[in-house]
Chain A
Amino acid sequence: MNKLMLILLLLPALAIAADGTLQVQTQAQKEVTVVTDEGEEQTRLVPVTTVVPGDEVIYTITFTNVGDQVAQAITITDPVPAEMRYIDGTAFSAGAELQFSVDGGDSWGVAEELIVSDAEGKPRPAQASDYTHIRWVMRHPIKPGQRGYARFKAALR
Chain B
Amino acid sequence: MLKFRVQILHRAGLVSALLALIFAVPAMAAGTDPGGTRAGTSVLNQAQVQYQVNGVAQTPVLSDNDSDPNNGIAATEFVVDRKLDLLVAESSLGYNSASTASVAPGQTGVVLAWTVTNEGNQVQDFLLTVNATGFDPFGGTDNFDATASGVFVDVDGDGLYDPLVDTATFIDELDILESRTVFFVADVAANRVDGDIAAYVLDAQVAEGGGAGAQGAAITTDSRTSADSTLGIEDVFADGENTNNAGDGLRDGIHSAEDAFRVAAAVLTVVKSSTVISDPFTCPGGVCPPGEFPKAIPGAIVEYQISVTNAAGGSQATNIVIADDLSSEMGGASPTLAFVADQYGASGDIRMVFTPAAGAPNTTDMSEQADADAGQFIANTVTVNNLTLSAGDQADVRFRVEIQ
Interface size range on B against A:
35 or more
Q: Is the CB of B47 within 8 A of A96?
A: no
Contact A59 B9 (CB under 8 A): no
Contact A25 B65 (CB under 8 A): yes
CB distance from A71 to the nearest CB of B (A): 4
Cα A90 to Cα B23 with chains together (Å): 8
Chain B residues whose CB sits within 8 angstroms of the CB of A83 once the complex forms: 37, 41, 43, 80
Which residues of the partner chain A approach B390 to less than 8 Å between Cβ atoms? Answer: none
User: Which residue on chain B has the smallest CB distance to residue A28?
Assistant: B76
- How many A-B pairs have beta carbons closer than 8 Å: the answer is 185
A24 touches B47 (CB 8 A): yes
Question: Does A81 sit within 8 A of B, measured CB to CB?
Answer: yes
Complex-state Cα separation, A33 to B25, whole angstroms? 19
**Min distance, Cβ A104 to any Cβ of chain B, angstroms:** 13
A8 to B223, CA, bound (A): 33
Residues of B near A150 (CB, < 8 A) are: 47
Contact assessment for B52 and A73 in the assembled complex, using a CB-CB cutoff below 8 Å: yes
Q: Would you list which residues of chain A between 11 and 40 have a CB under 8 Å from chain B?
A: 15-16, 19-28
Closest residue of B by beta carbon distance from A21: B61
B16 touches A27 (CB 8 A): no
B7 within 8 A of A: no
Return B65 CB to nearest CB of chain A, in Å.
Answer: 5
Cβ of A94: which chain B residues have Cβ within 8 Å of it? 9, 12-13, 16
A50 CB-CB contact with B under 8 Å: yes
- Please tell me if the beta carbons of A87 and B47 are within 8 angstroms of each other in the complex: no
Q: Is the CB of B45 within 8 A of A55?
A: no
Chain A residues near B243: list those with CB within 8 A. none
- The interface size bin for chain A is 35 or more
Is B45 in contact with A79, judged by CB distance below 8 angstroms? Answer: yes
Cβ contact within 8 Å between A55 and B31: yes
How distant is the Cα of A142 from the Cα of B241 in the complex, in angstroms?
53
Chain A residue at minimal CB-CB distance from B48: A77
Q: Across the two chains, which residue of chain A brings its CB closest to B23?
A: A89
Q: Select the stretch in B156-164, B230-238, B364-372 that faces chain A.
A: B230-238
With A49-B234, A77-B50 given, can you name 13 additional A-B contacts, CB distance below 8 Å? A22-B58, A25-B64, A52-B30, A52-B36, A52-B39, A52-B236, A54-B30, A54-B33, A70-B53, A72-B51, A76-B48, A83-B41, A87-B24
List the interface of chain B (C-beta within 8 A of A).
9, 12-13, 16-17, 19-20, 22-25, 27-33, 35-37, 39, 41, 43-55, 57-58, 61-65, 67, 75-83, 121, 223, 228-230, 234, 236, 238
Closest 9 CB pairs of A and B: A53-B36, A49-B228, A89-B23, A94-B13, A20-B53, A52-B83, A54-B33, A26-B63, A78-B47
